[in-house]
Amino acid sequence: MNVGVAHSDSNPNHSVYNSKGIWVTYILIIFLSHLFILSVPFFSVAIAWTLTNVLHDVIMFMMLHITKGTPWETPDQGDARTETQWEQIDYGKQFTATKKFLTTVPILLFFLASFYSKYDKVHFILNASVLALSIIPKLPQLHGVRLFGINKY
């Protein structure tokens, strides 16, 4: 949120990811959650990384691609009710810095998880399938598309 800054937008979802410090916060949250998972005694490094990746992708999928409208802000009177959070970012423009950043992070996480799981087949299948959740809905070609009418209303 633009804390301490007055914004005149009735839907702050348009610009929330452009606020100061939000990228760093995002990375920090991933890092700290990873440390937390690593500190669980019976998880090996490989499991910890795969778990981080899976949790990150699933949570971000729910936050960005399932939640629609403006759940915490009402003044827009349901203007964005048909748009997912991702589609609202930067007023729906493609290839903005925020969108590039949000697409790159899960890919890098996948690289790390692959590396630390020693390119194991089972880990690969898990990591690659949740990566699909994070990448496919972000493609510009799928903007506003609801495959098979899922989550349409």
Partner 1 sequence: MAIIPATWDMYDLIQGFLQAPAYHLIFEALLMVLIAKLFFSKSYKPEKIRLSEKEKEVLVKEWKPEPLAPDVPDDHPALQAMEKYCVDGAVGKTVNINGKDCINMATLDFLGFIGNKEIEEEAIKALNKYGVGSCGPRGFYGTMDVHLDLEDRLAQFMQTEEAILYSYGFVTIASAIPAYSKRGDILFADEGIGFAAQKGCVASRSTVKWFRHNDMEHLEELLKEQEVEDKKNPKKAKVTRKFFVIEGIYANYGDICPLPAIMELKRKYKVRIFLEESMSFGVLGATGRGVTEHFGVSIDDVEMVVASLENSMASIGGFCCGTKFIIDHQRLSGMGYCFSASQPPMVAVAASKAMELMQNNPVMLVKLRENCERVHKAIKDIEGVEVRGSPLSPVIHLQLSEPAADRDLDMKTLLMVQDKAISQGVAITPARYLDNEEHLLPQPSIRLSVSSQLSEEEIDKSMDIIKAVFRSVLSGNTAGHGGGGDSAEAHS
Q: How far is CA 98 from CA 10, 15, 75, in A?
A: 20, 10, 24
Q: Is 77 in the site for partner 1 (CB under 8 A)?
A: yes
For residue 87, give Cα distances in angstroms to 31, 43, 50, 56, 153: 26, 36, 28, 19, 15
Encoded one letter per residue, x for contact with partner 1 by CB under 8 A and - for no contact, window 4-43 reads -----------x--x-------------------------
Segment interacting with partner 1 (CB under 8 A) among 20-28, 29-37, 56-64, 69-77? 69-77
For residue 63, the minimal CB distance to partner 1 (Å) is 20
Q: Which two tokens stand for residue 85?
A: 């959070």
Min dist CB 33 to partner 1, Å, is 21
Separation between Cα atoms, residue 77 and residue 58, nearest integer Å: 29
Helix (H) or strand (E) holding 40: none
The Cα 63–Cα 9 span in angstroms is: 21
> What residues line the site for partner 1 (CB under 8 A)?
15, 18, 74-75, 77-79, 81, 90-91, 93-97, 100, 103-104, 107, 110-111, 114-116, 118-119, 121, 124, 128, 135, 149, 152-153
